[in-house]
Amino acid sequence: MTEPEETLEARVVALLNSADPGLVVVGALAPTPEGVEKIAPLSHIDVVADLSAQNLDWRGPGVPCAYSLRVMVRVAYADDKTGALFRDACRAVRVALVALTGDGCAALDGGGFSCDAFLLDTTTTALESLGDGDGMNKTYTATVSGRYTPTTTETEAENG
């Protein structure tokens, strides 16, 4: 069964790739094809989605839940002599995430997941050790509220 976090993460990765941030975008839960090692260059964007809270004491399809989303832009100074790559990648990420607010969160619907709300939270910028040198890291956080209703095939497989 596909977890809702996988669906959410994959949708955000696709959205960021379409925004052309100038960096490789990597989803934490996305596997690589058999025989291919999962690696990323030092400068890249990570996307992580986690279950944050179940918002109703009920078990079954469509239970409303909150998910935490983190998008981390990591750029090594060795790859960005002027700082423009980091700045431009951060701008592209922000524009893509802001587009999900309001009615825009419907862009995250699919694979059994229905988005009810997308709320941007804090950002954090920090110096980070990357490889043999330093670089910058900016993390965007958001809370995504939604419901996951597995497809009939997934429900049947789960129930045997």
Give the pTM.
0.90
- Reading phi first (left if > 0) and then psi (alpha if -120 to 50, else beta), residue 60 is in left
Which pLDDT does position 65 carry in this prediction? 96
The pLDDT tens digits of the residues spanning 30-79 come to 999 999 999 999 999 999 999 999 988 988 888 999 999 999 999 999 99
AA letter at 110:
G
- At the top level of CATH, the class of 4-159 is alpha beta
Which pLDDT does position 59 carry in this prediction? 86
- Reading phi first (left if > 0) and then psi (alpha if -120 to 50, else beta), residue 55 is in alpha
Q: Which two tokens stand for residue 10?
A: 């994959």
